[in-house]
Chain A
Amino acid sequence: MAFDLDQATESFAQDVQDLLDQVLRRPEPEDAEKQRLKVLPLGKRRVIRPGTEDTPAGIPVYSEDKHVANLELIFHCEPDQENTFLAVRKSMFQLASTQEGTPLLRLDYVHGAHSIPAAHWNIHAERGATSVLLARCNPRHEGRLSQIHLPVGGVRHRPCLEDFLEMTIAEFNIDKLPQWKDAVRTGRERWRTLQTRAIVRDSPEVAAEVLRRMGYEVTTPHSGPPPQNLEILQAR
């Protein structure tokens, strides 16, 4: 069956929307339209995020019914090289307090990043000792903890939105719906299953060897074993 980019994008966006709707407890929003995820298509590229047509916006999160922070999320997507599935080229999940403009925590993924880890956390929590050490060891660095990219598992093993949402619930105790745990677990299972497929494609011989040890009969293609995806396996 031919890959349908619009169908794949809308299906992915709706999965994200359903996750948010099943996890975050929010009063009936006056600005529901702004909180709804938007898909912006142009050519083969797609952007998914809440907001209006012209302005990305955060999704309010509540603690004891008080609006305390905003969850900001963005996905930039396009078809993968083989035009067989939707690939996320960039994602950003961020928590920002309503108290100030600077975000608190950000989980970024940038496909093909070289100078920084593809998947990383930025933590906006400055500390003098960090700045002093950075200034002493790396004068080219801006000297802020928020500019340190904390690596988290590379392209395949990076955390998913479900992990981010569970962190906000477990650590910040934000208002959640009764079924949040099931929604997070189901979504995480879906994410890790998808990533497992990609991981098998990255290392087919390793996957075949593991399956043979488990009793499966696996035959190497006549054309020889496909190569490992060293770019993904070695990238930070």
Chain B
Amino acid sequence: MTVSVIGVTRDELIESRELLLRELNLTHEELRRRVKAETATSDERHALARLDEIEFLLGE
């Protein structure tokens, strides 16, 4: 398989994060605590990975 490059903008990432947090009804840190406590589902683990990658890409 050939890897794909997906161009993203700052605004798109911020919007994606806001949407995700709204859907989860949790803060980033609350979600991190759920994952750490092993009470998170695999979807929630992937959501945390998404929030972490957005934070990294935005340089926060």
Contact = CB atoms under 8 A, between A and B. Distances in A.
B50 A37 contact: no
Contact of B40 (A49, A70, A101, A144): A101
A36 interface: yes
Contacts of A144: 38
Contacts of A206: none
Contacts of A40: 6, 8, 53, 57
B50 A54 contact: yes
Contact of B45 (A32, A38, A76, A101): A101
Interface residues of B, number: 30
Contacts, number: 92
Nearest to A90: B56
Nearest to A70: B42
A42 B1 contact: no
A101 to B, nearest CB: 4
Contact of B56 (A37, A89, A147): A89
Nearest to A35: B1
Interface residues on A, range: 35 or more
A72 B42 CA distance: 11
A53 interface: yes
A124 interface: yes
Contacts of A55: 46-47, 50
A74 B42 CA distance: 15
29 contacts: A10-B3, A21-B1, A32-B1, A36-B2, A36-B4, A37-B1, A37-B4, A38-B3, A38-B5, A38-B6, A39-B6, A40-B6, A40-B57, A42-B9, A43-B57, A45-B57, A49-B53, A51-B46, A56-B46, A56-B49, A56-B50, A58-B42, A74-B49, A74-B53, A89-B56, A101-B41, A101-B44, A124-B38, A142-B37
Interface of A: 6, 10, 13-14, 17, 21, 32, 35-43, 45, 47-49, 51, 53-58, 70, 72, 74, 76, 89-90, 92, 96, 101-103, 124, 142, 144, 146-147
